[in-house]
Amino acid sequence: MLTKNIRLKGFGITKNKKKIALQVSKKLNFYKKSRLINSFSENYRFDFNNNSVNKFKKYTNFNLIGMGGSSLGAKAIYNFMKPKIKKKFNFLDNLNSRNNNQKNKDQTVNIIISKSGNTLETIANYSSLKQKNKNIFICENTNNYIKNLANKLNCLIINHKNYIGGRYSVLSEVGMLPAIFMGLKPKNFKNLNYLVKNKFFIKSLIDSVVSTSYFIKKRSIILLY
């Protein structure tokens, strides 16, 4: 096997484990109060209400247009839960994407996501779609192209929080709104409080930090032969 040619030096527990454990605990308590981490918990309030999104639940076809973190979270959920999802989702997340999932264009909802509101690939992909589709726009509350376009079209605009980056957005409006349309419940994804209280998770986290810290200090992570 490949691992026969890899030797790890110093992997495991160091004398500083107790000190690192204390630092990790302090960091967890600090981040539990942060706005970003709050989006992972059930306490997070979405920038939409049931009345504004319920009218879209009757549709069976959806285009999700976004790049990187704006689409990867929802795409992962859809691919993982696909056997249980009755709706059809098409992800336009690069310039070679194909809009090939709807025969009846009037029965389709476009979900256009761009934190900055100025992502050129997202704008280009949206422009390639039939404008008869229903549209939902998710972007920051700033003067940007996506927001201005949504206002012009009189479409629903959902605020993308400026403190939530794309790679961390799956449990915010960016990932949970598509999940709702997939027939899934956001609360089932919100397990932060459980993880923080789970001793096995905390121990694994501490051990990972300990090992990483050791490697950084020793500068001898992996030797290849």
pLDDT digits (tens, 9 = 90+) for 6-33: 454 544 545 566 776 677 666 666 656 6
Tens of pLDDT, residue by residue over 92-135, are 998 876 665 444 456 899 999 999 999 999 999 999 886 677 99
Write the pLDDT tens digit of every residue in 143-198.
999 999 999 999 999 999 998 988 889 999 999 999 999 999 998 888 766 666 66
**Exposure string (b/e) for 108-123, b if CB count within 10 Å is 16 or more?**
bbbbbbbbbbbbebbb
- For the domain covering 45-189, report its CATH number: 3.40.50.10490
Please report the pLDDT score of residue 83 as a whole number.
93
Domain ranges of the chain: 45-189
**138 with 160: CB under 8 angstroms?**
yes
Report residue 225's pLDDT band, with 50, 70 and 90 as the boundaries.
Answer: very low
Three-state DSSP state, 220 = coil
| Chain mean position to CA 136 | 17
pLDDT of the residue at 43: 81
CA–CA separation, 22 and 152 (whole Å): 53
| Terminal Cα distance for the chain, rounded | 14
Q: Which two tokens stand for residue 217?
A: 């200090």
